[in-house]
Structure 1
Amino acid sequence: MADFGFNEHHQSEIINYMRFARSKRLLRLKAIDSCFEELKDSRLVEDTYTVDEVRDMLDGLQMVVRGEVEMELINTAHTNVLLLRQLFSQAEKFYLRLQSDVSELENRELLEQVAEFEKTDFKITNKLNQETSKLKLAPLNEGGVSELLNKEIAKLQEDNNKLKSRLRTLESQAMSVLDEKAKLERTLKDLQRTQGEQKEINNLEDTVAALTEDYERSLSANEATQKELKESLITAKHELLRVQEQLSLAEKELEKKFQQTAAYRNMKEILTKKNEQIKEIRKRLQKYEPDD
């Protein structure tokens, strides 16, 4: 059984078309046979004919047969155009663009397969196709196809709108994350600045310790020097208290900001994930809204 690579339905359609073509061919052959019979009945009534009479009969027969063959060839070409029109019309309803290779129409191997199919498979499946031909598919309803396509388009538009809304939400969240990131960066800078102030406090403590040590060594000095050193020590202690108070406030602020560093890391991870999600959504959106 010849295999053209079609499913059962399309195989049946080919058989129906070949049956139609064969019936038209048989009718045209009968017409040509009738031309010869008419010539025999109307002109061949004598026993002998001259050369001119025979030539005249053959010329007349040639014109009639030529007309019949030409009419059949023209009708076949036009019929094929109508068949292609049906196929293209059905394809366009589904936004398909069919193509044909005219060179394959003269493929001798394929033509032999068609001839073999007509000789064998066509006869074997003739009875089966007579039964299946009764179960004709309903013609494509333009309204139904349009309704199906409109539903599909509406669904795609709805999905597109949902994706747009989701994208706007993610962009808003991303902006919030970016703002939080900026705040955390400022907090980090403040923390680094506070660490610098801590170093300055340590230096002041070292200075106070040195002054205390000098004060203890200068106890034996005169009262003026001793008083001056005492005042310097008091001033240094006041400065130390002031700096310690600032240090206490800075430590509290540092502790509060330091507690936010974990949130900073978490928000940074969230920002990275959101950026990846935005890229993925934009890639998906390009399938539905390609750039002009």
Structure 2
Amino acid sequence: MDVLKVNEHHQSVIGGYAQLYRYQRQQYLRSVQSAINDVINSKLLEDTYTRDEVTEIVSGIQNDILNDLEAELINFVQANILMLCQLFQQAEKWHLQLNVDLSEMQNKELLESVQNIENIPAKVEKPKLTPLSINIEKTSELMRQEIFNLQEENKQLLEDVKILHDKILNMRQEYENMVQKCEEKNKMIEELQKIIEQNINSISKETNIEEKKLEAENILQNYDNVLKEQITNELEEMKQKVETAQSQLTLAEMELEKKFNSTAAYNNMKKIISKKNDQIKELRNRLLKYESLDNVENGEKK
């Protein structure tokens, strides 16, 4: 049974299932043989028969066998459906979606490999589906571990988001500090301009006053240009840092939302909300229907 790729427990369950239907097949063959024997003992009592009599006897046997065969096939299909329902019910308790590859049921290699399954002794006492509660402790432990891992991962994501948020707040604070420094430097420039103007006024009576005034203005302009360029570069760099931090925060929030949307709790809540919306729509339609009936009755009374 290695070709079936199932564990030892499932192999024993399959063996019990095969033995059960081998027994039912043998019982069906015995019933067919009994029906044929009944016909031989009850109707084949003479030495010669006409064509019509032979046709009647064969038709009777054929009808009996077909009826028994149809009943047996129906019973076989129904029993397999019940077995699939048991498996699906167990899977749904753990939010699993099982699928069946019907093409594999026509695989000759696999069909040949299961011919000897009926001869393998089953280790289960009864041909019933083993309750899931047998391994409930191990399964529950796995589920708890998975939930713990998800909680830790969400916790780490929340911490990352908090760190990024703190970084953005710090960068905004630095940006505000840079703006404040810029205002202070602008005030310094204005004070320098006033001092230069005062110096220009004090030396207005001296010679070459225009040359000294031009020189002072050039010095002030150069200082102003250098200071503005420095402040602009610092502000641009701070702006890029803030934008980068905001992008990282957005990505982290999107990832956290994606993980939350993929959880079973979110999907179940989404189904419940969808169901409630459908109920509300139905109640609204019924209310509109009753209101229209009331309007018609009021119109008739008038």
Q: TM-score, normalised by structure 2?
A: 0.58
Find out whether 1:113 has 2:84 as its counterpart.
no
Equivalent in the alignment of 1:232: none
Matches within 5 A, 1:121-136: 121-122=116-117, 126-127=119-120, 129-130=121-122, 132-133=123-124
Equivalent in the alignment of 2:192: 198
Say if 1:90 and 1:140, in contact at 8 Å, map to a contact too: yes
Deviation at 1:50, TM superposition (A): 3.2
Alpha-carbon distance in structure 2 between the residues aligned to 1:165 and 1:2: 48
- Counterpart of 1:184 (choices 178, 182, 185) is 178
Q: What are the superposed Cα offsets for residues 25-54 of structure 1, whole Å, 9 maximum, x if unpaired?
A: 222112111211222233323322333332
- Counterpart of 1:288 (choices 243, 249, 259) is 259
Q: Which amino acid aligns with 1:191?
A: K
Matches within 5 A, 1:241-260: none
The farther-off stretch of 45-54 and 269-278 is 269-278
Deviation at 1:153, TM superposition (A): 9.3
- Decide whether aligned partners of structure 1 residues 117 and 102 sit closer, same or farther in structure 2, where only a CA change above 3 A counts: closer
Equivalent in the alignment of 2:34: 34
Q: What are the superposed Cα offsets for residues 186-234 of structure 1, whole Å, 9 maximum, x if unpaired?
A: 32233144235435534543554554569xxxxxxxxxxxxxxxxxxxx
Alpha-carbon distance in structure 1 between the residues aligned to 2:192 and 2:129: 89
Helix, strand or coil for the counterpart of 2:98? coil
Matches within 5 A, 1:55-70: 55-70=55-70
Find out whether 1:81 has 2:81 as its counterpart.
yes
- Counterpart of 1:278 (choices 233, 246, 249) is 249
Q: TM-score, normalised by structure 1?
A: 0.60
- Decide whether aligned partners of structure 1 residues 200 and 8 sit closer, same or farther in structure 2, where only a CA change above 3 A counts: farther
Paired residues, what number?
238
- Decide whether aligned partners of structure 1 residues 68 and 78 sit closer, same or farther in structure 2, where only a CA change above 3 A counts: same
Say if 1:2 and 1:117, in contact at 8 Å, map to a contact too: no
Alpha-carbon distance in structure 2 between the residues aligned to 1:137 and 1:83: 8
Bigger Rg, structure 1 or 2: 1
The farther-off stretch of 198-207 and 71-80 is 198-207
Q: Which runs of 4+ in 1 moved over 6 A?
A: 134-137, 145-150, 264-270
Say if 1:174 and 1:275, in contact at 8 Å, map to a contact too: yes
Alpha-carbon distance in structure 2 between the residues aligned to 1:211 and 1:13: 116
Equivalent in the alignment of 1:98: 98
Q: Which amino acid aligns with 2:61?
A: L
Equivalent in the alignment of 1:246: none
- Decide whether aligned partners of structure 1 residues 142 and 200 sit closer, same or farther in structure 2, where only a CA change above 3 A counts: farther
Q: Which amino acid aligns with 2:117?
A: F
- Decide whether aligned partners of structure 1 residues 114 and 36 sit closer, same or farther in structure 2, where only a CA change above 3 A counts: farther
Q: What are the superposed Cα offsets for residues 156-197 of structure 1, whole Å, 9 maximum, x if unpaired?
A: 578757866874675466346424422321322331442354
Helix, strand or coil for the counterpart of 2:132? coil
Matches within 5 A, 1:206-245: 207-209=201-203, 211=205
Say if 2:171 and 2:238, in contact at 8 Å, map to a contact too: yes
Q: What are the superposed Cα offsets for residues 53-100 of structure 1, whole Å, 9 maximum, x if unpaired?
A: 323322221221112101111011101111110121122112122334
Percent of aligned pairs sharing the same letter: 28
Say if 2:161 and 2:252, in contact at 8 Å, map to a contact too: yes
Alpha-carbon distance in structure 1 between the residues aligned to 2:60 and 2:67: 11
Deviation at 1:279, TM superposition (A): 3.0
Q: What are the superposed Cα offsets for residues 111-162 of structure 1, whole Å, 9 maximum, x if unpaired?
A: x22431134x537xx44x54x4469995113995997798579755787578
Alpha-carbon distance in structure 2 between the residues aligned to 1:41 and 1:77: 34
Structure 1: stretches of 5+ with no match in the other structure: 215-253
Say if 2:86 and 2:129, in contact at 8 Å, map to a contact too: no
Helix, strand or coil for the counterpart of 1:283? helix
Alpha-carbon distance in structure 2 between the residues aligned to 1:84 and 1:43: 44
Helix, strand or coil for the counterpart of 2:82? helix
Q: Which amino acid aligns with 1:281?
A: A
Equivalent in the alignment of 2:44: 44
Structure 2: stretches of 5+ with no match in the other structure: 209-226, 271-302
